[in-house]
């Protein structure tokens, strides 16, 4: 009797160990597939950036190849990557894509004709620009004036300003967002009760992550991004990538309905390479190591 019980216990233990081993193998295989999908997503982002900077015949087929590789490995990453690629192709790769430019008027007439939703579920997101000696530069004032024009055209929408304590020689740690709020109230005449600020962002990636928290808290589901013309595509790509993540992983829907641009020539050379910087920041949002961004090998 004792022998039979001992043998039964051994068989039970063996079954448990076999089950644990099978689970461990399954988990290990899934982790490998997830890592491989992340690497393929890095390749996709690199190919998207290169296609924006140096368009070539076959770019569309290469992007589709990248997406098929991701889909074969991880369905969630594929859905997000597909959303990222679809928007990227529209704003960076479509030669017919046109920015909506601020014309200096009191209202954003060029924007209202596009059918952007009205109401309290819409937000005007104004992105900051580096301070100089702790003060706003003309470009940041121009972004604020463009944002104020949108806000006047959409009086029920909230306004979100994003930008931290940037620039050299800023001993009092003035923030872009704090100064933007003051400018919008004191110079542009907006109601301060409409304005929410993020004073921590130091990059466009930070802008997106920090403002999304505000937008979700306020029940916003559509937005207009206001920034400089040379920065618009970059900002839209980053915000749309985060929107795809929130939609798939958190069940929160937030769509970019439009951009509105203050038209100015870039004053920082690096901004001329906005597509590659945008791809790197999207990698950060997706949790992909930035060194995973590598182009596909040349086709033979």
Residue 29 has pLDDT above 50, yes or no: yes
* 87-to-92, 103, 256, 296 alpha-carbon distances in Å: 8, 26, 10, 20
Between residues 272 and 180, the one the model is more confident about: 180
Q: Tell me the pLDDT tens digit for each residue of 195-205.
A: 999 999 999 99
Tell me the whole-structure pTM to 2 decimals.
0.87
CB 279 within 8 A of CB 49: yes
Identify the band that residue 51 occupies on the pLDDT scale cut at 50, 70 and 90. Answer: very high
Q: DSSP letter at 160?
A: E
CA 138, CA 126: separation in Å to the nearest integer?
A: 15
Q: Render pLDDT for 212-225 as a digit per residue (tens, 0 to 9).
A: 999 999 999 999 99
Distance between CA 74 and CA 15 in Å, rounded?
30
Tokens coding 36: 């491989």
pLDDT at 184: 98
Residue 32 banded pLDDT, cuts 50, 70, 90: confident
Q: pLDDT (tens digit, 9 = 90+) per residue, 255-297?
A: 999 999 999 877 555 566 789 999 999 999 999 987 767 666 5
Mean pLDDT computed over 176-195? 98
Kindly state the percentage of the chain with pLDDT values over 70. 85
DSSP H or E segment with residue 27: helix 2-53
CA terminus-to-terminus distance, the chain: 72
pLDDT tens digits, one per residue of 73-131: 999 999 999 999 999 999 999 999 999 999 999 999 988 888 887 888 999 999 999 99
Decide the pairing of beta strands 255-262 and 158-162.
unpaired
CA 253 to chain centre: 14
Q: Are 44 and 85 in contact (CB under 8 A)?
A: yes
What does each C-alpha distance from 246 to 14, 240, 249 come to in angstroms? 43, 10, 5
CA of 168: how far to CAs of 17, 130, 154, 197, in Å?
A: 61, 9, 35, 22
pLDDT of amino acid 25 = 46
Q: Is 200 exposed, middle or buried (0-12, 13-18, 19+ CB in 10 A)?
A: middle
């Amino acid at each position: 009797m004792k022998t039979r019980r001992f043998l039964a216990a051994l068989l039970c233990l063996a079954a448990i160990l076999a089950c644990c081993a099978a689970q461990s193998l399954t988990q290990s295989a899934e982790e490998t597939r997830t890592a491989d999908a992340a690497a393929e997503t890095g390749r996709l982002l690199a190919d998207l950036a290169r296609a924006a900077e140096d368009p070539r015949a076959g770019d569309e087929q290469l992007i589709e190849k990248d997406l098929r590789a991701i889909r074969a490995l991880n369905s969630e990453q594929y859905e997000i990557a597909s959303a990222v690629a679809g928007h990227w192709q529209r704003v960076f790769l479509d030669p017919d894509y046109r920015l909506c430019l601020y014309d200096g008027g009191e209202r954003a007439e060029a924007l209202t004709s596009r059918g952007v939703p009205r109401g309290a579920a819409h937000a005007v997101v104004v992105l900051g620009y580096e301070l100089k000696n702790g003060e706003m530069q003309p470009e940041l004032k121009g972004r604020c004036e463009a944002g104020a024009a949108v806000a006047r055209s959409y009086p029920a929408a909230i306004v979100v300003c994003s930008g931290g304590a940037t620039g050299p020689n800023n001993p009092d740690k003035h923030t872009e967002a704090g100064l933007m709020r003051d400018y919008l109230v004191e110079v542009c005449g907006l109601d301060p009760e409409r304005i929410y600020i993020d004073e921590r962002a130091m990059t466009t990636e930070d802008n997106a992550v920090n403002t999304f928290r505000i937008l979700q808290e306020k029940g916003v589901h559509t937005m207009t991004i206001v920034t400089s013309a040379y920065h618009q595509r970059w900002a839209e790509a980053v915000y749309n990538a985060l929107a795809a993540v929130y939609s798939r992983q958190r069940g929160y829907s937030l769509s970019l309905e439009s951009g509105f641009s203050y038209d100015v020539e870039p004053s920082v050379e690096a901004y001329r390479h906005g597509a590659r910087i945008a791809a790197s920041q999207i990698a950060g949002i997706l949790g992909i190591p930035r060194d995973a961004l590598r182009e596909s090998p040349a086709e033979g």
